[in-house]
C-alpha cells in the first residue's frame, strides 16, 4: 500500500520504517528540511533499538524516503498517517496547531478521496474537527480515522511489530477496513484489532496512559509511607504484585515518571474534565504526586548532606527511562536544576542522552562519556535512570573513587545487602537507609 506519514519524530519514524519493512511504499513528510536530508542519508536522529536498521533497509530497498514537498507526499498516498506532536499548553490542553496546519495544507493539494489516520494522542473530537477542516476546503471526500499509538520508547519497534492490540476508531467502513488491512502482518497470532467509534478510540489512549501513570504515583506514595514506617517497599510490592487482580506492571517506586506521554496526557485529561465539568481528583493527584516525587532525591541528598554549596555529584542516567535518548520532563532535569540552585556541581553520564542534556545546561554540568569517570571528585553518586550498564557496577571502585561512600538511588537498582557488604551508605526509594 502507498502510505504517507506526516511527522518524523519518535512515533512517525517507527511507524514509517515498520510499514516499509512489510512491503509498503512509504513517504515520510516533515517540514524540517535538515531532518529530511539526514534521514534520506540513513542517519537516525533518535536512539531507538532496531530503528536505524529498519530505516537503512527501507531506504536501500526504495520502500522508504522522506520529503518536505507536501504535494508529492499527498499525491503518493492511499493512506496518510498524522504523527505530529501535540505539546501541552500552559493550561494542560493539547496544542493541535501542528496537526491543524498540516490538515489545512493537505486540503489545498488533495486531488482525490483520501483516508487519514491520526496516530498522535489527541483530545476527544479531534478526528471530527480535522475531518471538517479538510473537507471544508477540499473538493474530495476525506475520511479521518483514529489509530492511537501504544508504543513504549525503548521498545517501540518491538511494540509496533508485536502489538498487544490495535485500536481503530472510524465512522466510514471503507476507511476503517483500509487501516485494518495495513495491520494484517502484525496480528497473525490472534492479537486483536479493536474497532470502535472515533471518540472512544481517542479517549481510550488517554485512559490507558492515565491509569499507568496513576499506578506509578500510587506506589510512590506507598513508598513514602514505607520509609516513614521503617518498612521495605519491596516486601509490600511482592504481596501486591502476586495478587492476580493487581500484578507487578508499573508498580516500581522511583524518582517519578517523565517523557512525552504520561505528564502531558494526564494534564490533558484533567483539562478535558474541566471543560466538561467533571471532577478529576484522582488524575489531578496523580500529576501532583509525580511532580513532588521528582523532588524526592534532592530532599534525601539535602537531609543527609546539609549545605550543598561546593559539593559535586556524580549523576548516572539522564533519559526519562532506559533505552531512549529522550529527556523530556525527565526527573534528572529537576534534580540538576535543584543541585545547581544549591551551589553544587554535577558530573553527568548517560549512554545516549548527553547530546540533549548539553542543550539544556550550558554550565555547571560536566559531561562524562564513562560512568566511572563521572565519579571522579564527586561527593556522592545519584542514579536517575535504570540503564542496564548501571545494574551490576564495581561497588569497590565506586567506594574508592567517591569522596564519601554515598549512593542515592532513584530507581532502587541494588540489593541493600550488597551495598552493606561493599561499605556503601545507600539511600533508595521506600527503603530503610543502609549504613555501609
pLDDT tens by residue, 311-367: 999 999 999 999 999 999 999 999 999 999 999 999 999 999 999 999 999 888 999
CA distance 10 to 45: 10
What are the residue ranges of CATH 1.10.1040.10 in the chain?
A: 205-292
Fold (CATH) for 205-292: 1.10.1040
Categorize the per-residue pLDDT at 436 as very low, low, confident or very high, splitting at 50, 70 and 90: confident
Q: Are 24 and 4 in contact (CB under 8 A)?
A: no
CA distance 337 to 84: 29
Per the confidence metrics, is the pTM higher than 0.85? yes
What is the full DSSP assignment across 416-436? Answer: HHHHHHTT-EEE-SSSPPB--
CA distance 97 to 30: 15
Known catalytic residues are 261
Q: What is the mean pLDDT of residues 28-34?
A: 98
Q: Which residue has the cell 555501609?
A: 436
- Asked if the 2-196 domain carries CATH number 3.40.50.12780, the reply is no
Residue 364 has a pLDDT of 86
What are the residue ranges of CATH 3.40.50.720 in the chain?
A: 2-196, 294-427
Residue 270 has a pLDDT of 96
Residue 188 has a pLDDT of 86
Residue 9 has a pLDDT of 94
Residue 85 scores a pLDDT above 90:
yes
- CATH tag, 294-427: 3.40.50.720
Beta-carbon contacts of residue 34 (< 8 Å; ≥ 6 apart)? none
Residue 40 has a pLDDT of 98
Residue 193 scores a pLDDT above 90:
yes
Residue 213 has a pLDDT of 98
Q: In what order do the strands lie in the sheet with 114-118?
A: 64-67, 25-29, 2-6, 79-82, 114-118, 142-146, 166-169, 193-196
Residue 2 has a pLDDT of 98
Amino acid at each position: 500500500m502507498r502510505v504517507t506519514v506526516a511527522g518524523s519524530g519518535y512515533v512517525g519514524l517507527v511507524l514509517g520504517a515498520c510499514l516499509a519493512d512489510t512491503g509498503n511504499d512509504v513517504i515520510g513528510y516533515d517540514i524540517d528540511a535538515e531532518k529530511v536530508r539526514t534521514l534520506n542519508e540513513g542517519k537516525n536522529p533518535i536512539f531507538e533499538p532496531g530503528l536505524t536498521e529498519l530505516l537503512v533497509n527501507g531506504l536501500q530497498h526504495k520502500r522508504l524516503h522522506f520529503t518536505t514537498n507536501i504535494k508529492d507526499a499527498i499525491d503518493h498516498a492511499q493512506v496518510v498517517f498524522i504523527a505530529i506532536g501535540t505539546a501541552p499548553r500552559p493550561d494542560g490542553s493539547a496544542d493541535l496547531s501542528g496537526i491543524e496546519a498540516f490538515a489545512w495544507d493537505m486540503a489545498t493539494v488533495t486531488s482525490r478521496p483520501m483516508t487519514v489516520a491520526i496516530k498522535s494522542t489527541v483530545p476527544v473530537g479531534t478526528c471530527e474537527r480535522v475531518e471538517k477542516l479538510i473537507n471544508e476546503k477540499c473538493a474530495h471526500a476525506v475520511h479521518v480515522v483514529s489509530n492511537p499509538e501504544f508504543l513504549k520508547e525503548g521498545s517501540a519497534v518491538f511494540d509496533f511489530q508485536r502489538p498487544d492490540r490495535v485500536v481503530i476508531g472510524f465512522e466510514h467502513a471503507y476507511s476503517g477496513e483500509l487501516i485494518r488491512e495495513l495491520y494484517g502482518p502484525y496480528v497473525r497470532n490472534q492479537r486483536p484489532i479493536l474497532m470502535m467509534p472515533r471518540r472512544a478510540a481517542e479517549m481510550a489512549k488517554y485512559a490507558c496512559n492515565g491509569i499507568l501513570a496513576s499506578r506509578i504515583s500510587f506506589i510512590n506514595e506507598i513508598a513514602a509511607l514505607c520509609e516513614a514506617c521503617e518498612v521495605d517497599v519491596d516486601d509490600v510490592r511482592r504481596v501486591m504484585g502476586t495478587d492476580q487482580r493487581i500484578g507487578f506492571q508499573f508498580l516500581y517506586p522511583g524518582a517519578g515518571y517523565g517523557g512525552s506521554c504520561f505528564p502531558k496526557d494526564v494534564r490533558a485529561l484533567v483539562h478535558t474534565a474541566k471543560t466538561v465539568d467533571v471532577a478529576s481528583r484522582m488524575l489531578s493527584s496523580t500529576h501532583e504526586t509525580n511532580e513532588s516525587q521528582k523532588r524526592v532525591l534532592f530532599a534525601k541528598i539535602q537531609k543527609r548532606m546539609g549545605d550543598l554549596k561546593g559539593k559535586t555529584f556524580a549523576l548516572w542516567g539522564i533519559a526519562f527511562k532506559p533505552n531512549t535518548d529522550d529527556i523530556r520532563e525527565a526527573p534528572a532535569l529537576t534534580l540538576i536544576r535543584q543541585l545547581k540552585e544549591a551551589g553544587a556541581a554535577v558530573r553527568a553520564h548517560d549512554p545516549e542522552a548527553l547530546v540533549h542534556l548539553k542543550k539544556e545546561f550550558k554550565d555547571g554540568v560536566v559531561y562524562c562519556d564513562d560512568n566511572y569517570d563521572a565519579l571522579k571528585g564527586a561527593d556522592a553518586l545519584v542514579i536517575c535512570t535504570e540503564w542496564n550498564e548501571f545494574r551490576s557496577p564495581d561497588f569497590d571502585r565506586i567506594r574508592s573513587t567517591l569522596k564519601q561512600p554515598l549512593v542515592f538511588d532513584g530507581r532502587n537498582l541494588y540489593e541493600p545487602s550488597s551495598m552493606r557488604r561493599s561499605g556503601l551508605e545507600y539511600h533508595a526509594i521506600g527503603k530503610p537507609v543502609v549504613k555501609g
